[in-house]
Structure 1
Amino acid sequence: MTATPAQPYSPLVPSRAQRRRARRGPHALRDTLTLVALPLVAALALPAAFAGGGTRRWFGGRAEGQRAEAQAAKDAAAAAFYELDTAQRDLRISIETIRAVDDSPAARRAVSDFEAVGRRIDEASHQYIDAVDAHDLDRDDLEASAASQARTELTRAKDELGRVKQELDRFADGLGPLLGKAETQLARLAPAVERARQALLAASNALDAVRESGLRADGLAARLAALAPELTKLNQGAGQHGVPQTLERAERVAREAEAVRVEAERLPEQAAEIDHRLVSLRTRAQALTTRSGQVEPILSELRRRFSAACWQDLQHVPDQAGEHVRQAEAKLAEARVARDAQRWPDATALLSTVRALLNSTDEAVSAAGDRLTRLNAVQKDPQAEIDRTRFAIRDAQRLAMAGRNTPDPRHARPLDDSVARLERAIASLEGRHPDYWHFLTETEAVRRAVADVVAGIREERGTGH
């Protein structure tokens, strides 16, 4: 009987031992395809004594045709197995990229879905490996029915691998937005970390330059030193601390270091500005001390010529002005000490307090002089104030009647009230000691009320109402 030639070796088919190892792991596709072909030379070198009865018999006919079909099905299943394994490995890289960068619900769901697909892959892989293990297509006595069964099971395994591959492909297509976002963050990571390092270096150089000019900048140095642990974490990398956290840290470090650099470079200018303000505010305090001394003669004249209602609210001005000036001078001394100690924020805050004290003092001192000036004017000619107020009322009345036969009650009522209020203010001037200050405040209030009506009319007509 003629010896049957050996079946050609397929490099895609895993060995029995490799298939057994694949079953033991959670993912059957890992390392299963590390295949080693037995050299044909070894078979040719067998002793001649075994050539007579050890070679496979030739069955011919239908059995060999079924064997060939089964072998073709086995090769096709192995190719599908290899294609699925390659796709899974490639997709695992994408999933790991998303997992490292994105912790959103969508990303977590993608990771979970990939694990589910992985279980489907394991099931299909086990079906394929079981089919391969169940049928030895190299047996000499392989019957046609066994070969046919092997072909059927291997074809079924191949089809299942193909279906799972399609499922894996659909899953991969849906990862596009998440993967794009993750890759974008990864692309931003290295430049962001480098910007943080450069910002820290620039801040350090700016501090060195400031110190060389004689300024200590201790506060800025402390802020920069506080960033050292953050730089250590940046140097340790995203692998240890996570991509989103590292990216956020790099941006924050760059931002804070840049702020230190800007403040350090501005420090000499700030010191000069504080020196200038110290001199300017001291000069202003001295001038206010002189002006405060003039308030008492003004009050004396107000008391002599006008009723008590015209000056009672100004009685506290001299004492208050003196106290505020003394407080301002004390704060100025504290600001000088803070400046000499280079406590810039303290010096700036103290100078702001001094300025507020001097502003209030200036307003109070000016109010006394303004009161006397205005009372002198209205005492001399009250009609000027009356005419001014009446003109404002008439102008508002003309505007209210423009394009109308009758005024809108919303406008007419407050204008009528203003006319009555003005008449009452004029009447208050009668008598031996008229309250001119009350008269002035009333006419001012009337003009404000009229101005509100005018503004309302113009707003309504401007919007088409």
Structure 2
Amino acid sequence: MTATPGQPDSPSAPRAHRPRRPAPRTPGRTRRSTSRTPGRPLQDALTLMALPLVAALALPAAFAGGGTRRWFGGRAENQRAEAQAAKDAAAAAFYELDTAQRDLRISIETITAVDDSPAARRAVADFDALGNRIDEASHRYINAVDAHDLDRDDLEASAASRARAELTAAKEELDRVKQELDRFTDGLGPLLGKAETQLARLAPAVERARQALLAASDALDSVRAAGLRADDLAARLAALSPELTKLNQGAGQHGVPQTLERAARVTREAEAVRVEAERLPDRAAEIDHRLVSLRTRAQALTTRSEQVEPTLSELRRRFTAACWQDLQHVPDSAAENVRRAETRLAEARTARGEQRWADATALLSTVRALLNSTDEAVSAAGDRLHRLNAVQKDPQQEIDRTRFAIRDAQRLAMAGRNTPDPRHARPLDDAVARLDRAVATLEGRHPDYWHFLTETEAVRQAVTHVVSGIREERGAGH
């Protein structure tokens, strides 16, 4: 049906084309067309039908992405976990063995630094042999670790099982060697204890040596500050400098026993230097005093020696030659000894002025010996005259003194016995006879009183020897 002009459009009539107002555009955006091309609904339907299949195929890849392993099943993963556990256990055993070996090496080095005995050398050889066993076990472990990559994505169950077996065997070998190492360590106890004892002595010994050297140096400084030289002491202290250098270098270079011995020697010698340095002011004062004292004594002996000649003259006039011949040399020897003593005194005074303390001391000792000898010789002449005068006046006193000594010895020999021991009786009888002979020499016109005195003295000495023997025997028997 045709539409009547002026009537509204019927529903079935086509709508007349009317121009539209274009929609306003948003800046930067374009209009989307609302028209559809023929066949697009079929394509959209096919696309929606294909989505579940694509998603199903893409889901496992999403879980396997990002660097994670591919999944091959429960058995392979279990074998991988067991192999990894075996690897961790072997690594722990390897670390424990390596730590124990390092500790043991320190102990061996401690022993060798101190001890060079056959037992110590045998311990070092055994440690080297044990080190070879440790190297073998360690290489077996390292080879097992390098042979199996447990992080591979395509690790098969059989490969994981082999890795677990090899790593477990490597760990067992490491454990066995560790047990050998522990037994060896326990056996080192005595050697290590001895070495540690010496090492414990080392540091204090070295420190004592250093302190002794410091004290000696301080003492020398004090002496020099007082105006006294101590060149000989300084030289002795300087000679210890190389020893101090070796002490500072340590026992690792020179050995513990040698270092201990060196420290003891340095301590001893430095202490001696310190003591002498501290005594040096007193020593100087003592030398000054001895110079004065010996000079005075030499002068006194000069005066006394001048009296020897008058004494000898009296001996010659009153007694036989046997009583004074051995004294003839006294005046000359006394004068010579005094002269030599005065010469040595002058030398000692010079040495004191130059502070050569050792020389001054030695010279003064020589002077003292010369004066002692002179004093004895000069005194002998006067003593001879005195004793000869006494025995000439009353010889019975010397006789009674000697007979009393003999009778006292005879009573001791008979104490507790009916008959004397011949070993004691015979020398006592000889003493009686010898005394009688000495007394008989006094009956002549010119008695040899000096012979008489020497004989009675010899008799008393013989009797004293017998008495000492008796007392020793009875003391031993008691």
TM-score when normalising by structure 1: 0.80
Deviation at residue 87 of structure 1 after TM alignment: 0.8
Unaligned runs of 5+ in 1: 1-42
The equivalent residue for 1:45 is 66
CA 1:147–1:205: 2 relative to 1, 3 Å: closer
The equivalent residue for 1:24 is none
Identity of aligned residues (%): 85
What code does the residue aligned with 2:433 have? A
Q: What is the alpha-carbon distance in structure 1 between the residues aligned to residue 252 and residue 155 of structure 2? A: 58
CA 1:216–1:44: 2 relative to 1, 3 Å: farther
Asked whether 1:409 is paired with 2:422, we answer yes
The equivalent residue for 1:431 is 444
The equivalent residue for 1:87 is 100
Structure 2 residue corresponding to 1:308, chosen from 315, 318, 321: 321
CA 1:186–1:425: 2 relative to 1, 3 Å: same
The equivalent residue for 1:125 is 138
Structure 1 residue corresponding to 2:235, chosen from 215, 218, 222: 222
**What's the secondary structure of 2:443's corresponding residue?**
coil
Q: What is the alpha-carbon distance in structure 1 between the residues aligned to residue 421 and residue 79 of structure 2? A: 106
Asked whether 1:327 is paired with 2:348, we answer no
What code does the residue aligned with 1:200 have? L
What code does the residue aligned with 1:184 have? T
The equivalent residue for 2:111 is 98
Deviation at residue 133 of structure 1 after TM alignment: 5.0
Asked whether 1:252 is paired with 2:251, we answer no
What code does the residue aligned with 1:46 have? G
The equivalent residue for 1:364 is 377
Structure 1 residue corresponding to 2:205, chosen from 187, 192, 199: 192
The equivalent residue for 2:435 is 422
Moved more, 313-322 or 90-99: 90-99
Moved more, 174-183 or 320-329: 174-183
What code does the residue aligned with 1:179 have? L
The equivalent residue for 2:354 is 341
Any residues of structure 2 matched to 1:50-89 within 5 Å, and which?
55=70, 57-58=72-73, 60=75, 73-89=86-102
Deviation at residue 157 of structure 1 after TM alignment: 3.7
Deviation at residue 409 of structure 1 after TM alignment: 1.5
Deviation at residue 188 of structure 1 after TM alignment: 3.6
Q: Deviations over 1:360-415 (max 9, x none)?
A: 11111111111111111112222211111111111111111111111112111211
What code does the residue aligned with 1:45 have? G
CA 1:164–1:279: 2 relative to 1, 3 Å: same
Q: What is the alpha-carbon distance in structure 1 between the residues aligned to residue 155 and residue 334 of structure 2? A: 121
The equivalent residue for 2:294 is 281
Any residues of structure 2 matched to 1:104-183 within 5 Å, and which?
104-132=117-145, 142=156, 154-183=167-196
Deviation at residue 352 of structure 1 after TM alignment: 0.2
**What's the secondary structure of 2:442's corresponding residue?**
coil
**What's the secondary structure of 1:45's corresponding residue?**
coil
Q: Deviations over 1:267-324 (max 9, x none)?
A: 1111111011001001101111111111111111111221211111111111111111
CA 1:234–1:451: 2 relative to 1, 3 Å: same
Asked whether 1:212 is paired with 2:233, we answer no
Deviation at residue 45 of structure 1 after TM alignment: 2.7
**What's the secondary structure of 2:418's corresponding residue?**
coil
Asked whether 1:441 is paired with 2:454, we answer yes
Q: What is the alpha-carbon distance in structure 1 between the residues aligned to residue 397 and residue 435 of structure 2? A: 13
Structure 2 residue corresponding to 1:394, chosen from 407, 415, 419: 407
The equivalent residue for 1:36 is none
The equivalent residue for 1:291 is 304
**What's the secondary structure of 1:429's corresponding residue?**
helix
Q: Deviations over 1:332-357 (max 9, x none)?
A: 01101101111000000000000000
Structure 2 residue corresponding to 1:271, chosen from 271, 284, 289: 284
Q: What is the alpha-carbon distance in structure 2 between the residues aligned to residue 287 and residue 182 of structure 1? A: 67
Q: What is the alpha-carbon distance in structure 1 between the residues aligned to residue 327 and residue 298 of structure 2? A: 21
Q: What is the alpha-carbon distance in structure 1 between the residues aligned to residue 141 and residue 219 of structure 2? A: 68
The equivalent residue for 1:11 is none
What code does the residue aligned with 2:105 have? R
Asked whether 1:377 is paired with 2:398, we answer no
Deviation at residue 450 of structure 1 after TM alignment: 0.9
Q: What is the alpha-carbon distance in structure 1 between the residues aligned to residue 155 and residue 252 of structure 2? A: 58
Q: What is the alpha-carbon distance in structure 2 between the residues aligned to residue 176 and residue 442 of structure 1? A: 76
Moved more, 390-399 or 236-245: 236-245
What code does the residue aligned with 1:195 have? R
What code does the residue aligned with 1:320 have? S
What code does the residue aligned with 1:259 have? A
What code does the residue aligned with 1:412 have? A
Q: Deviations over 1:140-184 (max 9, x none)?
A: 57566x777666655544333323222211221222233333333
Moved more, 100-109 or 346-355: 100-109
The equivalent residue for 1:21 is none
Q: What is the alpha-carbon distance in structure 2 between the residues aligned to residue 125 and residue 393 of structure 1? A: 97
Q: Deviations over 1:220-254 (max 9, x none)?
A: 22222333333344444444444444444333333
CA 1:148–1:57: 2 relative to 1, 3 Å: closer
Unaligned runs of 5+ in 2: 1-63
CA 1:208–1:136: 2 relative to 1, 3 Å: closer
Q: What is the alpha-carbon distance in structure 2 between the residues aligned to residue 44 and residue 298 of structure 1? A: 137
Larger Cα Rg: Structure 1 or Structure 2?
2
What code does the residue aligned with 2:373 have? S
The equivalent residue for 1:32 is none
Q: What is the alpha-carbon distance in structure 2 between the residues aligned to residue 261 and residue 207 of structure 1? A: 7
